Amino acid sequence: MRAIVPVAGFGTRLRPHTYTLPKALMPVAGKPILGHILDELLLVGVDEVVLVVGHLGEKIEAYVRENYRIPAYFVRQERPLGNGHAIYVAREFLGDEPVLIMLGDTIFRGDFRPMLRSSASLIGVREVADPRRFGVVELDEDGRVRRIVEKPDQPRSNLAITGVYFIRETPLFRRCLERLIDEDRRVRGEYWLADALQLYVEAGAVVRTYPVEEWYDCGTPEALLAANRALLDILNPSAPRLEGALVHPPVAIAPSAVIEESVVGPYVSVAEGARVVRSVVRDSIVNRNATVRNVVLQGSLIGEGAYLEGRATRVNLGDDSEIELGG
């Protein structure tokens, strides 16, 4: 089984972090987003992965080569022209066998093994309260997908597309992708995978839906921190016992991280080589080789190699007084 994972986006909503780090390598609950995706693919039996890379793609390739032994191929998307175009540039890997597609900016959890045994193509979906922010699918009376719309103004369905797809008739799907590009079918300047899938349905492919149990968008700082909280609750990593520090689980602290005279947690990820000294850190992510010293942090993202230092404050506070420190 082959999987295609597009990870070529600029991650503009996560700047300044993504100026120097691909969005797929942003850490969540102890490992990069891409690490969670690859682990899920290995669980379902995928034995070959194709990654569509772009901005800082060499860092993605280095991460995969260093941490995974699965056969991996890297295809470059020179211009960010949408997720449909990202799959199109990897079309040489759309052979005769079925293929699994997982978008590289979302963490998925669930049992996807039945998906790979389906006789029909499948689109992973989940019911949402506001479908206007997502691609949605509309079904006919037999439960087959009849229409796929990207971010509709007036959605006729609340079944949001999560970003995982199983394509059974791969040669037909490739022809639909090629038609999408050849006919220059862009929406808002981009080629959407949803539009290629609509062509696939119109060409006669049987496409149904597959429920995705857990789906964590990681596209903004707020979403990244929310995913960190949710996954730490689920995974509940073993909290290290650190001399001179107080740890409130759930946390993910890398073995090479240094925590000194600090209170860490709950809901904190501290990556390899990071240092937290004389600080209080809650609901935050501290990336690789960053240093946090003499600060109180909550709801924060600290970038790779960043240095943050505060200073102690002296207060002489009388009876029945009230003061609020911080900015």
Q: Name which residue leads in pLDDT, 132 or 76.
A: 76
Task: Say if residue 289's pLDDT is above 60.
Answer: yes
Strand-by-strand arrangement of the 307-309 sheet: 258-260, 275-277, 291-293, 307-309
Instruction: Name the pLDDT band for 294 (thresholds 50, 70, 90).
Output: very high
Sequence ranges of the chain with CATH classification 2.160.10.10:
239-309
Tell me the CA distances in angstroms from 147 to 138, 201, 272, one per residue in order: 5, 8, 45
Q: Does an H or E element contain 221, and which? A: helix 221-235
Task: Say if residue 327's pLDDT is above 60.
Answer: no
Q: pLDDT tens digits for 144-182?
A: 889 888 777 777 888 888 889 999 999 999 999 999 999
Q: pLDDT tens digits for 263-279?
A: 998 999 999 999 999 99
For residue 76, the cross-strand partners are 53
Q: Which of 316, 314, 324, 268 is nearest to 292 (CA)?
A: 268
The pLDDT > 90 percentage for the chain reads 50
Sequence ranges of the chain with CATH classification 3.90.550.10:
2-217
Task: Say if residue 239's pLDDT is above 80.
Answer: no
Q: Cβ(164)–Cβ(100) under 8 Å?
A: yes
Compute the average pLDDT of residues 223-246: 87
For position 120, what pLDDT does the model report? 93
Instruction: Name the pLDDT band for 315 (thresholds 50, 70, 90).
Output: low
Phi then psi dihedrals of residue 266, to 5 deg: -80, 170
Q: How far apart are CA 310 and CA 186, in angstroms?
A: 49
Compute the average pLDDT of residues 51-55: 92
> How many Cβ atoms from other residues are within 10 Å of residue 321's Cβ?
8
Task: Say if residue 240's pLDDT is above 70.
Answer: yes
- CATH 3.90.550.10 is right for the domain spanning 2-217: yes
For residue 3, the cross-strand partners are 49, 100
CATH number of 239-309, picked from 2.160.10.10, 1.10.1660.10, 3.30.750.24, 3.40.50.300: 2.160.10.10
Q: Is the whole model's pTM more than 0.85, yes or no?
A: yes
Q: Which of 124, 141, 137, 199 is nearest to 169 (CA)?
A: 199
